[in-house]
Structure 1
């Protein structure tokens, strides 16, 4: 069978809820490869929507753009490539979910601005005691909540220096902070990072940090990276912010540290168990700022445009038999 015939067999099912203009971009990128659209334009900007793929298309699709229910993954018997609109692909790369050999790419790179800005806002709010003042306002209580901190001259330990971490570091430097990065390859630089270190130096770096900012992807070796042992290394005035994967922090150990005033505060957009159980002690900690995994998604309008840009570029590569970008290796 010729290469041209192989190319003609490709069939892309696009479930990203795009408008007419973006549909045309996908069609042009696909070239001779057939592409069918299943996304409802009314859902544009709603990252919570699961792709509704007609059953008759599932076994025919060689590529899918969008997030479908992993429970139906076994029906995509000819699937070669899945492009998610999320940065996380955990649900799809678990063994046995997708057929063997499927390439999974994500929307990593679409959320750096929105998540990093959210993390910076949390950090600054905790430095200025704003969560305490919100509680006072709710209680109609006029009360001075004491001294505050400044980012000027402070050291932030950025654990995970990819798209989000690098964005965060650049914003932090703009407020006068010194940025220290932690990543697996300490010899690989990242924008916004003054000094780069490896994970093997983490215990030495934690006591120096005024702020610890996590933006890690999910991995077996980062589960509970910040646990009771490592929380004990932090300064009493340290602030921890997590905008990456929730299981990088031991939520129970963090709640205990906050309860004992072992650190100043924590800003959390992600948790090991989501939704965070209503009985979890973190809810009751006045120095813990909680948001419901809302830093990314479609909360910032430009995120959707970035998702489309990433997907269009990969469709063009797929149609031309070129390596796909941002492969989440299985």
Structure 2
């Protein structure tokens, strides 16, 4: 049985020689474990080399698979993708293919949910305002409201890996937790109620903080638009770490300008980078981070990726359910099996 691996270089690393030694070691250790399972492993950092070897490969690991490689992969039965977000991953031929696709859903859950709560705490304690005033040596404070999180409700749109991690943290802070999810796998103890997507507005009307944790699909595009924003509390705070196109940026900007919402913490946008002349940059009640919620030590993330590859390989060889199987029609993981 043959596995072809096309290792991606991390952001900011131009060549293989620039890879940190511990990352090289994570990968080498993972490949060794897989070879000990009896597989023939071909590994490369070049897509052309991977394509030249994939014709008789049953398994492929990579950050993506282009049409030319897909057409060459005559024996492919399973692809382990080294990414979690599947935006811009699919094309018609890939959706129609019959191999199993898995991803690394969950490896970003902790760091992204930490980012959510860095934003929540900034709004709760006013630190984003005081940080700006520090440059003016201002001691002004009485106009900055403070929020006790134990008296608030967190509404989570999308109860996948990230949404669940946000819910756990919200519960730790004593917040009431509500969620919207199209296919919940039961209701965790720390979530009071899960609403169907058609009842989104009911959840929004009860939420002081709203965290967007869904992928971008045809169903979620502009899910948070004018009508959804109108359903929210006037003093609510919107946080988006999911995908920019889930939120209608124009409708959100108008709502913030008109005082319809108390604030917004935004890591993703319909257009990236956010244009320099966009009014969101200059709003005191908005925190903008440049799509960094997912970022952490590459060493940590790569170790997690390799762990999932090895775990799924063990499952595959033993005919057990794989972790993080992607529904190609929907474009995201429906059943994580974790």
Give the alignment's TM-score, normalised by structure 2.
0.82
Matched residue, 1:305? 303
The answer to whether the Cα contact below 8 Å between 1:27 and 1:35 also exists between their aligned partners in 2 is: no
The answer to whether the Cα contact below 8 Å between 2:267 and 2:288 also exists between their aligned partners in 1 is: yes
Matched residue, 2:20? none
Matched residue, 1:213? 211
Residues 1:25 and 2:17 aligned together: no
- Greater shift after overlay, 251-260 or 314-323? 314-323
Matched residue, 1:34? 40
Q: 1:53 to 1:142 in 2, by over 3 A?
A: farther
Alignment partner of 2:234: what SS?
coil
Q: 1:113 to 1:200 in 2, by over 3 A?
A: same
Matched residue, 1:197? 195
Matched residue, 1:315? 313
- 1:232 shift after superposition: 1.2
> Aligned-residue CA RMSD in angstroms?
2.6
Q: What does 1:286-305 align with in structure 2 at a 5 Å threshold?
A: 286-299=284-297, 302-305=300-303
- 1:115 shift after superposition: 0.6
The answer to whether the Cα contact below 8 Å between 2:108 and 2:294 also exists between their aligned partners in 1 is: yes
Deviation string 1:232-252 (CA, Å, 9 cap, x unpaired) is 122221111112222211111
Matched residue, 1:57? 53
Q: How many residues align?
A: 311
Cα distance between partner residues in 1 of 2:289 and 2:258? 22
Deviation string 1:90-133 (CA, Å, 9 cap, x unpaired) is 32223135772232211101111111010011111022222222
Matched residue, 2:109? 112
Q: 1:279 to 1:299 in 2, by over 3 A?
A: farther
Deviation string 1:153-172 (CA, Å, 9 cap, x unpaired) is 21111111111111111111
Deviation string 1:244-268 (CA, Å, 9 cap, x unpaired) is 2222111111111111121111111
Matched residue, 1:253? 251
Matched residue, 2:3? 11
Matched residue, 2:89? 92
Q: 1:102 to 1:121 in 2, by over 3 A?
A: same
Q: 1:267 to 1:301 in 2, by over 3 A?
A: farther
Matched residue, 1:43? none
Structure 1, unaligned stretches of length 5 or more?
A: 1-7, 40-50
Give the alignment's TM-score, normalised by structure 1.
0.84
Matched residue, 2:119? 122
- 1:26 shift after superposition: 3.3
Q: 1:244 aligns with which of 232, 242, 245?
A: 242
Structure 2, unaligned stretches of length 5 or more?
A: 10-22, 329-338
Q: 1:270 to 1:137 in 2, by over 3 A?
A: same
Matched residue, 2:131? 134
